[in-house]
Amino acid sequence: MKIGVFDSGIGGLTVVKSLLEHKLFEEIIYFGDTARVPYGIKDKNTIIRYAIEAVEFFKNFDLDMIIVACNTVSAYALKEMRDSAKCPVVGVVEAGVQATTNSLEDKNSNILILATKATINSKAYENLLREKNYNNLEAKATGLFVPLVEEEIYNGEILEATFKHYFKDIKKPDAIILGCTHFPLISKALSSYFNGTKLIHSGEAIVQELEKNFTFSKKYNDTKLQFFASENPTALNNIAKKWL
Ligand code: DGL
């Protein structure tokens, strides 16, 4: 199986990490649109246009599947990507919702959704959760975490200050959906701030979804990786070495 993983930038590497840990694929072609990140503050039409361009890029490879690691793209452009791709396109939002409901039997559980402004405005997570009768939801755009993670700030004073800023009125939820590629990198800090609340990670969620919906007859210990970026591929390669 040869797949493409698409993200607005470097954040999707957190999803690649999960895919590698579960040894699902023989080859992964990663494309990060580093020249145009962040997508999380852009409008719907722009996000769709960029996403279709990514599908065009992936047509250079003979892919079996495209995984959209970016929550913002998954929230807005999955249908359009599916319409123009020649292979299945899988997003992280449905997978994240499924992983959340699998881990919370009680439909009255309090769920906090953290994501970019665009993802929160789309209500993609909220709508799917409400369809499944989970209605105790709080959604919070926490876009400042994105540049902090890109600065490799995963803990410490600055991050704590942003937690206080965003979460001052928020009580400990039963689960937090990390609805943005970058947020798994601050999961330790979030978990200690919220005193052990359950965290839902897109990468792990997509692995669960894939294993449920597709047959994987073989484990790949030595997945071939190729990284492409619309700007500064060297920086992407360096961060990939560090994160993966
Ligand atoms: N990859 C984006 C997401 O998961 C976060 C970064 C951005 O705003 O582009 O929503």
What CATH number does the domain containing 48 carry?
3.40.50.1860
Measured distance CA(31)–CA(33) in Å, rounded: 7
**Residue that has been written with the tokens 């995963």 in this structure:** 154
Confidence (pLDDT) at 225: 98
CB atoms within 10 A of CB 106: 9
| 38 alpha carbon – ligand 1 mean position (Å) | 6
Residues 61, 127, single domain; the answer is no
Do 198 and 112 fall within a single domain?
A: yes
pLDDT of 23 above 90: yes
Number of separate helices (H) and strands (E) present in the chain: 12, 9
3-state secondary structure of 53: helix
Q: What integer pLDDT is reported at residue 196 of this predicted model?
A: 84
219 and 155 within one domain:
no
For residues 189 and 210, membership in a common domain is answered with no
The rounded mean pLDDT for the chain is 97
Distance from the alpha carbon of residue 183 to the mean position of ligand 1, in angstroms: 10
Pair (84, 27) in one structural domain? yes
Q: How many Å apart are CA 59 and CA 72, to the nearest integer? A: 22
Is residue 40 within 6 Å of ligand 1 at its C-beta?
yes
Q: Same structural domain for residues 106 and 191?
A: yes
Residue among 36, 122, 182, 243 whose CB has most ligand 1 atoms within 8 A, to mutate = 182
Q: Is 80 helix (H, G, I), strand (E, B) or coil?
A: helix
185 lines ligand 1 (CB under 6 A): no
40-69 burial: b if 16+ Cβ within 10 Å, else e: bebeeeebbebbbebbebbeebebebbbbb
pLDDT at 57: 98
Residues 6+ apart with CB under 8 A from 234: none
CA distance 124 to 173: 19
CA-182 nearest atom, ligand 1: 5
Grade residue 4 by pLDDT with cuts at 50, 70 and 90: very high
- Identify which of 14, 72, 144 to mutate to test ligand 1's pocket (most ligand atoms within 8 A of the CB): 72
Do 85 and 20 belong to one domain? Answer: yes
* Interval between CA 9 and ligand 1 midpoint (Å): 7
Q: What is the bridge-based pairing of β-strands 137-141 and 224-229?
A: unpaired
Chain segment 163-203, per-residue pLDDT in tens:
999 999 999 999 999 999 999 999 999 999 999 899 999 99
* Pocket of ligand 1 contains residue 146 by CB under 6 Å: yes
Could you tell me if the CB of 70 is within 6 A of ligand 1?
A: yes
Domains in the chain, number: 2
Q: Are residues 106 and 142 in the same domain?
A: yes
Of the residues 16, 47, 55, 70, which is catalytic? 70
Gap from CA of 147 to ligand 1 centroid (Å): 10
Give the model confidence (pLDDT) of 142-160 as tens digits: 999 999 999 999 999 999 9
Assess whether 123 and 147 both reside in one domain: yes
Q: What percent of the chain has pLDDT over 90?
A: 99
Domain housing 212? 2-91+204-243
Residue pair 78/46 in contact (Cβ under 8 Å)? The answer is no
Note whether 198 and 208 are same-domain residues: no
Told to judge if 87 belongs to the known catalytic residues of this protein, a careful annotator would answer no
What is the maximal distance between C-alpha atoms in the chain?
Answer: 49
Res 100 pLDDT > 90: yes
How many angstroms separate the CA atoms of 69 and 85, rounded?
Answer: 16
* The token pair that represents 175 in the structure block: 């689960």
- Our mutation pick for probing the ligand 1 site, out of 120, 148, 181, 230, counting the most ligand atoms within 8 A of Cβ, is 181
Quickly state the pLDDT bin for 19 (edges 50, 70, 90): very high
User: Is residue 195 located within the same domain as residue 209?
Assistant: no
Catalytic status, residue 180: yes
Residues 87 and 208 in one domain: yes
pLDDT above 70 covers what percent of the chain? 100
pTM of the model: 0.96
